[in-house]
Structure 1
């Protein structure tokens, strides 16, 4: 167990600030280096975040030559793969922001690198740290729903389209699917125990993103702003998945788990044009079941908490390093999440159902 955990941050954009803020709250931990491929940006980040003892690098490979326990990968999506694999090969534990990568093959390579190195690869899904997410999983895994045969998840923003690197096919890989849809998938798949995806039939569009009436960068909008898919999972479970950055509707509905003995309905917390998706907390939960032969709806109390979920994610990564325990949100598990997004894009492009094939 290291006396002081030594951390490097790769990428110095907005999400890196959240990582730095969380790390600075932890005792016996030091941010010793920051790297960014844009010259001078890492040093500016160090100055702004008052990380006076940290070294700045324009090449993340130079940062990885330092004696580090772990790194946060906070780059744009397209660089997640290279930086994570390089870090794992250099013997560093990795916390990579979501989505895991741009392509499925990249995620497979990342998982293989973690296995070879014996270092952890954990993926940044902070909603997992909401105790209500644990409660949902407990209910689903308890058996009180009976055989779960259908799940519906996803969400939609009335308006909530980002710009910049998020809308570039080359840099982001996907749009709403990768940005917020991965959270919805994790919420449902984690509750189910991450069953293996088998097939996907999907549709995507970008009518809002490519319309200058709705997006100021319409001319360079290359990804999907809406998608829907029917996914077959092992265990004879069907998952209906839908996501939207923008739409003329207030909601795409709640997340539902339908079982042979009961059903669970969960709505996301939040209000306003950027809400309605599973990147935050839980708004309400209801259990639909029969009591003495009568249809009954029971409210499941939402656990009130004051946790900063992002801080909890970073803190757990540091604790896993300190305690030498497995990745909190294992990349090998999130590989299934990435496989579904890949399947959605392939199915939408070919306008047919596609098979998901993963290495054993």
Structure 2
């Protein structure tokens, strides 16, 4: 290469540490700037990370005046829209942490900014880099299941409620739906090839988060800790989506793909109170089918690996910028799940089915 990639970090919360650690493993990447809205926090972060040559700023707009090839945006949800649009319009490629945005309209504007600027907007869904997730996509899109007409996805933690910015409606936009539901949606929708939704009927609640018996910040809890929805798509596919931060149950069940020729059952990996959702790997895969008139099931061996999935997503972004490739996980795809989450919240509030309308970026 003729020069290193020059990368900036916007937001210095906990997730920014993982971004820096991943970039440091790439010899062709140089982190040249860090920004955070809290005065002096960026400078302290740079010092703690050993980024002795990096400039520090109290505003992302100041950082964006630098010559940069790309930025990692690691801010609270409420800042995703503004920092992303400003970064794209200033000619920077963007790796954005999930969820995409607070509202659907913000997501549309972010996707449009990427189109207009010619720069990359990619979203941070590291479970996609698990080879077992790719295996699921291969099985479903091979046609082995026939016509897939029903999918059930989601996950539930018996206890696993975060606090701080995650439970503020203003700062996070949504609760369990945005935090872990987005992983469940991406797992299913990416496997299916991201079909376009047309309507959703949903219910949400926050019985646990607002109860001081279960959450130390109950008086500040403003978002949903549970949600369930039925989503209809253009191709007569329906998806049942359910998610929970807390419940009196061990599981909300496996993910299922029902097809006219076969069905696929998938369980997540991991154990413990914060497991049971699709923010990690695959535990088991089973194919249900008929052979010679007999109902049978076939376990599909999972693929063992030692990949650091978080590193892989950061490295893929850097490689895509370096090599001039398209966004690894493009904003147009994640806008579809943002539309579903938006529809879930609207439907739950209205207590009826609502339509989903998306711009055509195809």
- Which category of TM-score, normalised to the shorter sequence, fits these structures? over 0.9
Provide the residue aligned with 1:274 in structure 2: 274
Aligned partners of 1:157, 1:8: CA distance in 2, in Å?
A: 34
Consecutive aligned runs of 4 or more in structure 1 exceeding 6 Å deviation: none
Aligned partners of 2:342, 2:124: CA distance in 1, in Å?
A: 19
| Cα displacement string for residues 10-67 of structure 1 (whole angstroms, at most 9, x for unaligned residues) | 0000000010010001111100000000001001100111111101000100100000
1:95 is the counterpart of 2:112: no
Aligned partners of 1:129, 1:264: CA distance in 2, in Å?
A: 20
Aligned partners of 2:294, 2:229: CA distance in 1, in Å?
A: 34
Provide the residue aligned with 1:340 in structure 2: 340
1:243 is the counterpart of 2:243: yes
Provide the residue aligned with 1:198 in structure 2: 198
CA drift of 1:125 comes to 0.4
Provide the residue aligned with 1:317 in structure 2: 317
The equivalences for 1:172-191 within 5 A come to 172-191=172-191
The equivalences for 1:214-225 within 5 A come to 214-225=214-225
The TM-score with structure 2 as length reference comes to 0.99
Provide the residue aligned with 1:162 in structure 2: 162
CA drift of 1:215 comes to 0.1
Aligned partners of 2:347, 2:226: CA distance in 1, in Å?
A: 14
Aligned partners of 1:295, 1:240: CA distance in 2, in Å?
A: 25
1:140·1:191 contact (CA, 8 Å) conserved in 2? yes
1:74 is the counterpart of 2:89: no
1:2·1:322 contact (CA, 8 Å) conserved in 2? no
CA drift of 1:234 comes to 1.6
| Structural RMSD (CA) | 0.6
1:152 is the counterpart of 2:152: yes
SS in structure 1 of the partner of residue 284 of structure 2: strand
Structure 1: give runs of 5+ residues left out of the alignment: none
1:156·1:243 contact (CA, 8 Å) conserved in 2? yes
SS in structure 2 of the partner of residue 95 of structure 1: strand
Provide the residue aligned with 2:23 in structure 1: 23
SS in structure 1 of the partner of residue 146 of structure 2: coil
Aligned partners of 1:42, 1:147: CA distance in 2, in Å?
A: 51
| Cα displacement string for residues 214-241 of structure 1 (whole angstroms, at most 9, x for unaligned residues) | 0000000000000000000121100000
The equivalences for 1:249-288 within 5 A come to 249-288=249-288
| Cα displacement string for residues 118-141 of structure 1 (whole angstroms, at most 9, x for unaligned residues) | 000000000000000000000000
Count of residue pairs the alignment pairs up: 360
| Cα displacement string for residues 177-217 of structure 1 (whole angstroms, at most 9, x for unaligned residues) | 00000000000000110000110000000000000000000
Aligned partners of 2:36, 2:27: CA distance in 1, in Å?
A: 25
Provide the residue aligned with 2:142 in structure 1: 142
CA drift of 1:3 comes to 2.2
1:176·1:224 contact (CA, 8 Å) conserved in 2? yes
The TM-score with structure 1 as length reference comes to 0.99
Provide the residue aligned with 2:291 in structure 1: 291
Aligned partners of 1:153, 1:255: CA distance in 2, in Å?
A: 5
Aligned partners of 2:316, 2:53: CA distance in 1, in Å?
A: 24
CA drift of 1:359 comes to 1.6
Provide the residue aligned with 2:330 in structure 1: 330
CA drift of 1:2 comes to 5.7
Aligned partners of 2:28, 2:53: CA distance in 1, in Å?
A: 14
1:61 is the counterpart of 2:61: yes
| Cα displacement string for residues 131-187 of structure 1 (whole angstroms, at most 9, x for unaligned residues) | 000000000000000000000000000000000000000000000000000000000
